[in-house]
Structure formats: structure tokens, C-alpha cells
Structure 1
Amino acid sequence: MNLTARTKVAAVIGSPVGHSLSPVIHNAAFVAHGDDWVYGAFEVDPQRATAAIDAMRVLGIAGLSITMPHKELVMDALDEVHAEAQLVRAVNTVARSADGRLVGYNTDGVGCVDALIRAGADMSSVGVVGAGATARAIVAALARAGSRVAVANRSQDRRREAVAVGNTARSGSTIEVGVETLGECPTIVNATPLGMEGVAPGALPFDTSGLTSRHTVLDVVYHPLETPLLRAARLCGARVVDGLDMLCAQAARQQEVWLGRLPDVALLRQAALRELSQRQR
């Protein structure tokens, strides 16, 4: 990679970002496609999230990935927010338009749908555990893709908000359910941090005892790569989709926003796995 004064810069902002695989994933795509872009990571205190958008504007940064807890915090600082990101009230991608305007998008939901389709999941009915920013994006994208969506979450208010998002995306598509009924859906997505190392490393978001080979389970958590949920689902014979698949799929969609083309998701995953292997040495 030959950096010059003309090289375009993109980066991820969030807190923390020291563990992020995004630089490895995006730089692999830039190199493969011969793009004169480079991608880094900036640790940004949540109280300075809007200042980071101002810095993007001043420094001419071409694109940003937004991770937690900044996805909602940056919205007011942007010149425009795409309709899907407005609906789910979360931005994970910022692009600079031809006239210099900063536009916010959300690729989390479509990335999840892409990962499930690639895995051969039954998309007719999908249960989603969680109701935060990532969950809302997934619910909206599933609804638009034609799935019947069932949302389970401990907080009734947030659960109803997520259901409203799904039904706005497609009327009558989304209902609220208890976690005990999730097994009725052939595909289940965990969009909570339960199972994440350092947060709730041993926790399961729902009882997996009813899972069978007819089920597909996706966990948005990718640290560890095999979460307790995926391990339990695999033992039940279910098809599993790890969080790295979704991370790479949504990153590919980010590149589509910035550069108008989709990189090979398999290439992105291979780059991420090599990085994870090196970190374990």
C-alpha cells in the first residue's frame, strides 16, 4: 500500500476500538481492488462523538464506520441521514457526498440479512433477541426482506419500539414475543452483548434446549468467535452463523456506500481470521 497526499482516509470511531477488526477487513478490500484508500481506528470519548464528525469535515476524511456507543450520538452532527438510519435511529456508516455533505447510513441490518442468506437460512420467520441500535437495524432489514419477525427483549418499552420499527419498514411484519417461544422461528438472531468476552462471557440469551437441525442461529457477537450460544446451538445440530460473518457482510456494504462496489466477503473474512490467529500467538 503506497500512501500519498492523494490517498483517501477512512476509519472507525468508537470506544473502545483497540480490539476492532475493521482496519484489517477494510484495508484488505482496498488492496484487493487497488483503491487508493487507507483505513484506521480512532478512540473517541462518547462525549466527543459530534466533535469527531466535525473533524471528519475539517480533515477531509472520506468515510467513517461508527461503532458503539456512538451510533446514535453522531446523528445530529451530520448533514443528512438516510431514511433507513433515521428509522432505526442509528448510524454505522458516514460517507462524504460529491458536494462535501456528510451523510449517515446504516449497514448493520442488510449485513445481517446478507450473512443469513449466504448461510442458507430459512428467512420465512426470524426471531430477534434484543432491541438496541443493532437489533433495530436487523429487525427493519428483515422486515424489508419479507421475513416475519418476532422480537424478544427484557425491556417491554424497548421491545415495543423495535416492533414499531419493523412494522414501519413493512406493515404487519413484526410482533413481540417472549424468549421461550423463539424456537418456533426457524432462524434466530442474538443482537445482545450476552456471551461477549469481558461483558457477559458465559451468558445465554435464550434457552437452547429446543434447537434442532432445522434451526439457524446467528450471533452478532464475534469476540469470542464461538460464543456460548453458538456452541450450544451447534451441539443441538443447528446451523450457526458467527458474528464475524455479519461484521464482514456489513463492512462490504459500507464499501458499497463509499466506493460503489461490493468486495468479496470471503476475502474479508480470511483477512480477519489471519489477524485473530496472530493475536492469539
Structure 2
Amino acid sequence: MSASQKQLFGLFAHPVGHSLSPVMHNRAFQALGLPFYYHPFDIPPERLPEAVAGLKALGIRGINVTIPHKENIVPLLDELDPEAEAIGAVNTVVLSETGRLVGYNTDGAGYVQSLLSETGINLKETNVLLLGAGGAAKAIAVYLIKHGCASLTIANRTEHKAETLAHHVQRYAAQSHDGKGSSSPVRINVHSWSQLDRDGVKAYQLIINTTPVGMWPNVGHVPLELKELSPGTIVSDIVYNPLQTAFLKAAEQRGAQVHQGLGMFIFQGALAFKLFTGYEAPLEVMRKVVEDQLNLSSSQGK
């Protein structure tokens, strides 16, 4: 893609008003002197097929995809990157030079990059509890397996979705272990919410909220009541608005190390930016504009 050509990019979400992707990408375009623009599109689920068809007609070069479209968009695309195919969810779509819509997923890579750089965790010695079973959970689960966590337990309010995700991850783990379909050394389990309420979370060294619970404007909500934690537990939340969710505040009060969602948001955005433009993303510019926006929202009581 020529950097001198005006190009339109965007975000498909519903609702879309809370997202800081537009301000982050537009500031990054400005920093590199690119004549591109990133626009938020509020797309109700029933209009998603029309919206995807419109990408080609309008010549929109790329979009990010978030709640609730990450899985439903998959069959509407022409092609999937192998990683997105393994995950079964897409957060980035690029209109190729040949006119094909290609789906990618940068969520898992962005999350693990952030987790490792900000916490120093050794995933090979870590029993992980994953809360949620949506598109972001799929991406993160695949990357946790890729990096060899000791065990992965998936819990979701709808237990069937957790079981479906567990089967998906088990297939990926078996295929990636040695390429011959042998069983994986990573233990993958499913827990019901009632089991978590009964047994607690002491067995886990890393607890990750991948649900939107606690996202602005419902900032007082938590996905799970944390009771007793093991010493050194890391509690992570992929929600980045607000930066310090009620879930992370509760974890900190119980002595946990907390990992905020901002890093994942920046890293997955940077990976998407490179797919969109071919250029390395200006990470610090992106981080600063998002932090400034979050601080502004906080000062205004949002």
C-alpha cells in the first residue's frame, strides 16, 4: 500500500462509543505522517454481513473487530491467517491487494507480550484460570498453550461455551505439541461457576478476566468474587477502560499482583497497525494517547 494514498480504516463493534482504538490509531497515523483515517462503526449483529460486504464496495483497507463480532465474522471472510484459523476468532481484517478480505487475530500475541513484559511470569510453572469463553478468551487460551502454561482451567457463566472452548484448545494443543496429534502436556479443565464459588481460586497462580464485566460504564461490577488467593497470585483483566477495574482493586486488596488491560490493548493494536500499513507502530505514541484519554475520562467521572 502506498503511504501517499488516502485510506480508510475502522472498527466494527456494538456498542462502539467506549473504544479508544480510533484515537490510538489516528494519533499513530499522524506520528508517521500517514494520510490515513480510522473510523468507529457501530454495527448491530444482524447487520454484520452487510457491513462486511460493504468493506470491498467502499474500499476500506482494514478494520478491527471487537465485541460481539469476533467469532461471527469468521465465515464472512475470504481467507484466514493460520493463527486466526487456529483461534477461531478474528480481531483484524485487511483488504488485500487482490481484493480478498483476510482475517487475523492479534489479541493472543498482544496479551502474552504484555503479560510477560509487565509481570515477568514463568508460564511453564503457572496454573491459569481463564474467566470467559468468547473471542478474546479463545485467542488468549491458544497463546497460553503456545507458551506452555502448566495447566489451563476455563470457567464461563454458560458452561457449554467453556466446554466448547476447552475442546477447541485441546485440539490445537494436540496438533501443536508435535504435529502428529499426540496428547499435549498442558492440562485443560472446565469448571462451572458454582465450582469456583465452592472451591475458591487458591489453586491458580494466574487469574484472567476476559469478559467485558467491569468495563465502562458498569465500572462497579466484577466477574467473580475473589476470596482467598495464594501468595504471589497475578490477577489480570483485559478490560482497559477503566484502567484499574473493580476486579483488579479487589485483587490488590487481597495482596495479588495485578496486570491491567492497557498493555494488551496497545500491543494488539500495534500488531494490527503493522498489518494495516506495513509500518512498525509507534508504541509510545499509542500508549501515551490512550493513557491521556483514560486520565481525562477519570477526571470527568466517566
Normalised by the length of structure 1, the TM-score is: 0.89
The aligned residue for residue 277 of structure 1 is: 295
Contact 1:130 1:152 in 2 (8 A): yes
State whether residues 25 and 272 of structure 1, in contact with CA within 8 Å, keep that contact through their aligned partners in structure 2: yes
Instruction: Name the aligned partner's letter for residue 242 of structure 2.
Output: P
| 1:146 corresponding residue in structure 2 | 148
Question: In the alignment, is residue 134 of structure 1 matched against residue 136 of structure 2?
Answer: yes
Contact 1:196-1:223 at 8 Å conserved across structures? yes
Shift of 1:62: 0.9
For 2:244, the equivalent position in structure 1 comes to 226
Structure 1 gap ranges (5+): none
**Aligned pairs for 1:1-281 within 5 A:** 6-119=5-118, 120-124=120-124, 125=126, 126-148=128-150, 149-171=152-174, 172=184, 173-178=186-191, 179=196, 180=199, 182-199=201-218, 201-212=220-231, 214-279=232-297, 280-281=299-300
Give me the whole-angstrom Cα distance separating, in 1, the residues matched to 2:104 and 2:274. Answer: 11
How large is the Cα RMSD of the aligned pairs?
2.2
Q: Give the aligned residue type for 2:109.
A: V
Deviates more, 1:106-115 or 1:80-89: 80-89
Q: 1:151 corresponds to which letter in structure 2?
A: I
Q: Deviations over 1:87-125 (max 9, x none)?
A: 333211101222121101111111111110111233222
Separation (CA, whole Å) in 2 of partners of 1:111 and 1:206: 27
Gaps of 5+ in 2: 175-183
Residues 135-176 of structure 1: CA distance to partner in whole angstroms, max 9, x if unpaired?
Answer: 111101111122232222233322222222222222222411
Alignment check: 8 A CA contact 2:131 2:210 kept: yes
Give the TM-score of the pair, scaled to structure 2. Answer: 0.83
Offset at residue 83 of structure 1 (A): 2.7
Tell me if structure 2 keeps the 8 A contact 1:122–1:216: no
In the TM superposition, structure 1's runs of 4+ consecutive aligned residues that sit over 6 Å from their partners are none
SS at match of 2:123: coil
Aligned counterpart, 2:179? none
Of 258-267 and 140-149, more deviation after overlay is shown by: 258-267
**Comparing 4-13 and 111-120, the one that deviates more:** 4-13
Give CA-to-partner distance per residue, 1:165-188, whole Å, 9 cap, x none. Answer: 222222222411543464333222
